[in-house]
Amino acid sequence: MERLLQGLDASGAAAQHPRRLVVACVRDAVERARRRLADGRVPAEAVSLDALLADARALLEERSAPSLDRAVNATGIVIHTNLGRAPLCQDARRAVAAASGYAVLEIDRATGARGSRQAHVTELLRELTGAEAAFVVNNNAAAVLVALAALASGRDALVSRGELVEIGGSFRMPDVMAASGCRLVEVGTTNKTYLSDYEAALTPSTALLVKVHRSNFSMRGFVREVPPQDLAALGQRAGVPVLFDMGSGALEELGARVRCASGQADLAAAPTLQTAVASGVDIVTASGDKLLGGPQAGLLLGRAGAIAKIRAHPLARAVRIGKLGLAALEATLRVYRDPDRAWSEIPVLEMLSRSADTLERAAGSLLERLRAAVNGAASLDLYATVTEAGGGALPGVELASWAVSVRPHHGSVDAWERRLRHHRPPVFARIADGRLLLDLRTLAPEDEPVVAEALEGAARDHAGAASG
């Protein structure tokens, strides 16, 4: 231990880190070597002082770096949940930076009196969607939870069996409904639900009619569901409010600019927030970080009376959105005031609308740049592929794309993919047909130097291993 600490001191590595961290890394490097020896994985002569020093330095570097780091998305999946879903537009990034210190969050600058954090986005949401009122919480699951708790706690909520979805992370709609305190009443069947099924299930205990948009999967064939406008009409006749959980909510019609791999632009599975509000339902809930292209947030849009009940519920405080999310959401919504600007500046919209021809040209340009990086250690080719929106949005919709294909001459494709992930910042790609694919749909021009550097490192490592 002492010799290792002296070695780190002599090289200057120890001076760059807190002493407690340095000691912990040295201790762990020794313990890891001890376990390898005890397991017989390495001979005793392989555990040298230099090897232990290298391991301790690697641990120091790993533990000193932030774990929530920038990532380069070369997977082609636009709304990649594991990579943070929607990347923010430049206006939103600047807004987050401006609000990261003291900010005008809950104070009226005109009077100096306390204000509402909701005021930063509610009027924008009303303007853009046509809703009477709006309320924002920290994610869509929270939006659904607080709406159910405020409108149906202790009473019945009717929902189609075909819409009892799992929303990700093993959380299921029945579980969210149970947590809200309402009683779930299933109507219809898995594949077919009619308006008459809801009508037959109405009782004096019915507090809410619930529709859940199947935003993360699709059903085809012998299926039927009740449109939100029909459910809204029933709710008005019966005096029962209607909740429409959209999951992924868009503010722009996607069909006009997004083309599927088949050449068809049938994107009816992605209704806009405006059409959902116009259907007449009392409450619409949606995510902010999917097709909207903003930060993580749960949007509640609808009738003023229903929104007022939700705002007054105690859970509203527990699931409130923070100032950085609000800053990003306000900036994102302001961009949507100009639709052409939104399509060019909101990253999700810009990436979804990239044409196959544009992506092929970009892939060709990147390929030429990467030839020097791999230095003959891998074969590079253009590769036509398909990708998806991701993030539980546009299920079944495939987007034509182009990638640079990397086929290593030394080392496995898995090893190259792992090496790219370990680069800083990490580069995430995908493997198909025995190739490493770098998909241009989700790569920005500023990502390309990072990709080249990461590939150069992989090529150097494996070429050196082959020559050794």
Per-residue pLDDT tens over the stretch 374-418: 999 999 999 999 998 887 788 778 899 999 999 999 899 999 999
Mean pLDDT (the chain, rounded): 91
Same domain? For 335 and 377 the reply is: no
133: Cα within 13 Å, side-chain hemisphere: 13
283-287 vs 298-302, strand pairing mode: antiparallel
Residue 459 and residue 392 share a domain: yes
Where in the sequence is the domain holding 335, given as residue range(s)?
90-345
Whether residue 38 is predicted with pLDDT greater than 70 in this model: the reply is: yes
- Both 99 and 226 in one domain: the answer is yes
Q: Examine the pLDDT at 269 and tell me if it is beyond 60.
A: no
Q: What is the mean pLDDT of residues 289-316?
A: 97
Q: Are residues 130 and 269 in the same domain?
A: yes
147-151, 327-331, 459-463: least confidently modelled range:
459-463
Cα dihedral sign, 68-69-75-76: positive
Query: What is the reported pLDDT for 171?
Result: 67
pLDDT at site 40 = 78
Please tell me whether residues 242 and 358 are part of one structural domain. Answer: no
Instruction: Please report, for the domain that includes residue 378, its CATH number.
Output: 3.90.1150.180
| Angstrom distance (rounded) from CA 349 to CA 68 | 25
Residue 224 banded pLDDT, cuts 50, 70, 90:
confident
Q: How many domains does the chain have?
A: 3
pLDDT at 267: 62
34 and 117 in a common domain: no
Encoded tokens for 340: 């052409």
Q: What does each C-alpha distance from 68 to 3, 71, 263, 425, 453 come to in angstroms?
A: 33, 9, 38, 10, 21
The residue among 317, 345, 373 that closes a domain is: 345
Would you state the pLDDT for residue 220? 63
User: What one-character DSSP code corresponds to residue 120?
Assistant: G
Q: Is the pLDDT of residue 468 over 50?
A: no
Kindly state the tokens that stand for 439: 């998909």
430 and 291 share a domain?
no
Residues 333 and 407 in one domain: no
- Residue 409 tokens, joined: 């001459």
The residue among 322, 345, 368 that closes a domain is: 345
Task: Give the whole-angstrom CA distance, residue 293 versus residue 87.
Answer: 7
Residues 165 and 224 in one domain: yes
Q: Indicate whether 166 pLDDT > 80.
A: no
DSSP state, residue 42:
S
**pLDDT the model gives residue 215:** 56
The residue to which tokens 């030394």 are assigned:
410
The backbone torsions φ and ψ at residue 257, rounded to the nearest 5 degrees and listed phi first, read -125, -10
pLDDT score of 216: 56
- Contact indicator for 427, 435 with CB cutoff of 8 Å: no
Output the domain CATH number for residue 143.
Answer: 3.40.640.10
Q: Which two tokens stand for residue 341?
A: 């600007």
Whether 320 and 433 share a structural domain: no
Task: With both helix axes pointing from N to C terminus, report the angle between 413-422 and 448-467 in degrees, rounded to the nearest 10.
Answer: 130
Which of 29, 64, 99 is where one domain is finished? 64
Position with higher pLDDT, 296 vs 218: 296
Q: Are residues 102 and 36 in the same domain?
A: no
Cα of 143 vs its chain's centroid, Å: 17
Same domain membership, residue 255 and residue 375: no
